Structure 1
């Protein structure tokens, strides 16, 4: 094709897309409106898919007399905080606040587990009807149906989403949770690549969760960069990787996006595409960190695997009622991180105003080598015991593999991860190595003032060695050492006015931290009320991501909170601005 013909073709394609967008209704069709598809329309859709249509309900609906009589309220009460149980419910989110909906007048539509509140069970933000996708064809049929009827679409796997991106009031759902295919290939060749380009890889369907993925690679004597959660319930091939995908072993092998070889995806025109460095390379670039729910529905991800190697864990726990003593300890802990990064450590710490618990690991590091790195800090801490510091744990422990460490700490019965099933809204910031090196005391004081932070030591090392322009991920990740998260919450039945006050307090705390760290954050674990989400989550890559978004989703079907292109829609994400 000559350059002139190519230019004309591109412009014609853009013009047709623009005309189609301008001709489409300004607002999505929601349940209860006259435009909502008829029973006959849904019957036609059902004839095209492999499973009956699903009718999601808030999980607590089983506890109300008006629900299906077969509902088992005891089951709901028993499993309220079980991430794997929640992921098996099409209407459940891991944080139940995203199942409810607050109207502009302050009234709340929700279905509370606490039935003594005397509030009727309502649908809230839970989608009305949807497709239980078991194949690519199911997803294609659902996508085409949503476009044809101009529906607000929600795409959900497990419901692990702190921005509420996998649900929407009055919407049509495509549920990918049952896409469980797992294929290991020690000599995987990406589509379009030369035959000599091979990887030791595993392909995971969109519904595969980390507990399943880790079991699969362990059977092959391999390991995989992935997330941690109670019971391993987080999805391994969805929003986690599309937002970046942090991991305790990211400092050794890079983030999730740095380990992806290939995606398969269904776009808004129903087309099934393979995206890698050889085909649809622009989409491949965007999918690696450019945000979940934005470009299409990922059906599978292929990751490179790594040898299973031994590791050493560093455990430390201490507290003090003497504020000055604990502040000194935590400032020293912050100051230690460049050295920990150089030594290959990564992991998590839980921090309050007067206590800390550390769960760090280093791959291919012996216990003696680990001790050499952490002993100066432990000596510093020991010297504070005369000033009121109480040290309950201070040890290094060898493990045969990441899998053996993971299965010890992240089982459903004993977990180092924050629980699911509780009302939770987050704020977060990335903290750069430069900030930690130049102002450890300032960072320490700001963190302790929050009185409840999860300190994710998941950057530096291999993460910092990746070319910032090689993926769509926010370039700030390549300069970061830590990702810090804190939150607010409330009990069921709290009035909207009080929720508003709690959100305002969270926003103020975010401003205080931002003054020290800058405004960059991890898209998957962050505030829903960022002032400039385009920069905060995507940095200098935003304009390029927006162009790619418009190429692969010209009708704007995939719209999510603070995602690429969301600024073109109102705050409800139902109507174009």
Structure 2
């Protein structure tokens, strides 16, 4: 039967919304030092022992026992699909795995009856939740009416990211929740039964961890949502053995993204050794080079919930290392001209190739306003380097800025390990404006090293600044070689870029819908089209990309995924 621990886990996760952590006292990554990890072993067949909560997974032989307490007509909602994705040879695409083309919505004739939701809650031991948005206490939408005191308290903590991260339905990019405060009918449940229920009823299925998602993929009105935020197990594998890797490894609950170590070690998917996940037929499987190799290839770069709901990942371990880190602020309020600022910014961007070649990572922003322009470096991050070595990369630019009449004073710090460097160097990310719509572009290597192409690239970026549009840029090189030359589904655009640039427009959500749409399209086909024209097919990051991207398959996934 389904373990009661699974239900308790989701209930415990939900309770976090009523006691959010403080931004002043976040959990320190240093608490995750090696000595604090549990230890698990590799089994004789090469697979990794599962976490306790993973061992309760359902199989073809146990699912009938798990559903025995349900009425006969309700059991069909939770059965596995007739095809077994991991073992059956399916030569043609079978649309039944994703359900009907249009998902059902609350109010539709086919929306599951209350008895169906009750059956789901029963079979997962009461773990089903129907939460309200946090701000409901500020609106007269219930018998209790407005709770002004609680509303004032909620307003004060609204931009604290933990108030959103620890909530099952809130997002760090509120735009995709809509500007009303109606219950979104999102539920959380045990993963296998959720997949089966969603597939068989036609309800939209989403997976949400923290809600750090600029494109709204982890939310969805009228959806069944699997909230994985409470799955935080980490275990150490002392002697991992496979055909191409024999060393230390870590098994952890899933999560990821690009990293300040990506320039020196490659992207996270390059280091994945094995995955545990639930596929579209509802079965729980392992994927590695020997088990389900095609799914293993696809999962490493394919995007969240594209091929299944991942519950844990086994990855390579790497030695800790020195880190030199710096931050600085440059503003035109310091008595120098906008033209001098422009030339100084161009001089810094000319250093992108050299800095990336030295395995550094830089996260910088340019914020224009009517009376000033600010460049905020937070941080310049140099893994494996001393402060002296990192300064040697930055000081020539500082000297160039001095010639322009601009004083730059980087604040350098030497760290003995990555955890402290990361905790101190990166600021806690806040919650986006409710009208913020984001878009991004990966600008490839030739645009930074060919002088003529670089000039055109810089002018296109500067034109955005000149029009009052902010830039957020990551300078890093996620080389295939440094990642170990893996064969995976990561968008090739990641391998060829030196600058990942994000911008956004903040929509006035009180304007008429026609005005909002026009402003939104102006971003997609205005500033973003100019960036696309610099390097056609250069790519974009799915989680921080443009929801209206006209070539979304190529840009987000790469040329291998574009249908013929």
CA-based RMSD: 2.7
Q: Superposition pairs for residues 457-472 of structure 1, below 5 Å?
A: 457-460=475-478, 462-463=479-480, 465-466=482-483, 470-472=487-489
CA gap of 1:510–1:56, structure 2 versus 1, over 3 A, is same
3-state SS of the aligned residue for 1:130?
coil
- Name the CA distance, whole Å, in 2 between partners of 1:319 and 1:495: 36
Say which of 476, 481, 488 aligns to 2:505.
488
Say which of 397, 421, 436 aligns to 1:377.
397
Per-residue CA distance 1:28-77 (angstroms, 9 max, x = gap): 22211121222221221112114431113222112113247497323421
- Please give the TM-score of this superposition, normalised by the length of structure 2: 0.75
Structure 1 runs not aligned, ≥5 long: 1-8, 101-109, 112-120, 133-137, 207-236, 548-577
CA gap of 1:331–1:67, structure 2 versus 1, over 3 A, is same
Aligned residue for 1:131? 188
- Name the CA distance, whole Å, in 2 between partners of 1:478 and 1:20: 35
Aligned residue for 2:152? 74
3-state SS of the aligned residue for 1:131?
coil
Is the Cα contact below 8 Å between 2:187 and 2:226 reproduced in 1?
yes
Say which of 253, 263, 275 aligns to 1:205.
253
CA gap of 1:10–1:166, structure 2 versus 1, over 3 A, is closer
Per-residue CA distance 1:466-505 (angstroms, 9 max, x = gap): 5777110111211111111000113553432332132122
Q: Superposition pairs for residues 518-557 of structure 1, below 5 Å?
A: 518-519=536-537, 520-542=539-561
Is the Cα contact below 8 Å between 1:463 and 1:477 reproduced in 2?
no
Q: CA deviation at 1:271?
A: 0.8
CA gap of 1:429–1:366, structure 2 versus 1, over 3 A, is same
> Does 1:248 find its partner at 2:260?
yes
- Identify which range, 27-36 or 327-336, moves more after superposition: 27-36
> Does 1:338 find its partner at 2:398?
no
Aligned residue for 2:47? none
Say which of 385, 388, 413 aligns to 1:365.
385
3-state SS of the aligned residue for 1:47?
helix
Is the Cα contact below 8 Å between 2:265 and 2:482 reproduced in 1?
no
- Name the CA distance, whole Å, in 1 between partners of 2:360 and 2:289: 30
Per-residue CA distance 1:529-568 (angstroms, 9 max, x = gap): 111111111222215xx89xxxxxxxxxxxxxxxxxxxxx
Per-residue CA distance 1:383-419 (angstroms, 9 max, x = gap): 111xxx3x35334331222211222134xxxx26464
Is the Cα contact below 8 Å between 1:81 and 1:421 reproduced in 2?
no
> Does 1:273 find its partner at 2:273?
no
Per-residue CA distance 1:345-367 (angstroms, 9 max, x = gap): 11301123533122211112122
Structure 2 runs not aligned, ≥5 long: 1-85
Aligned residue for 2:182? 122
Q: CA deviation at 1:12?
A: 6.9
- Name the CA distance, whole Å, in 2 between partners of 1:65 and 1:530: 38
3-state SS of the aligned residue for 1:167?
coil
Aligned residue for 2:306? 294
Aligned residue for 2:130? 55
- Name the CA distance, whole Å, in 2 between partners of 1:249 and 1:444: 26
Per-residue CA distance 1:113-150 (angstroms, 9 max, x = gap): xxxxxxxx424xx3x14224xxxxx2111111111212
Is the Cα contact below 8 Å between 2:386 and 2:414 reproduced in 1?
yes
Is the Cα contact below 8 Å between 2:97 and 2:281 reproduced in 1?
no
CA gap of 1:19–1:165, structure 2 versus 1, over 3 A, is closer
Is the Cα contact below 8 Å between 1:86 and 1:94 reproduced in 2?
yes
Aligned residue for 1:104? none
Say which of 507, 514, 529 aligns to 2:532.
514
Per-residue CA distance 1:237-294 (angstroms, 9 max, x = gap): 2xxx4xxx21111111111111222211101111111112221111111111112221
- Please give the TM-score of this superposition, normalised by the length of structure 1: 0.74
Aligned residue for 1:152? 204
CA gap of 1:392–1:336, structure 2 versus 1, over 3 A, is closer
Aligned residue for 2:329? 317
CA gap of 1:368–1:318, structure 2 versus 1, over 3 A, is same
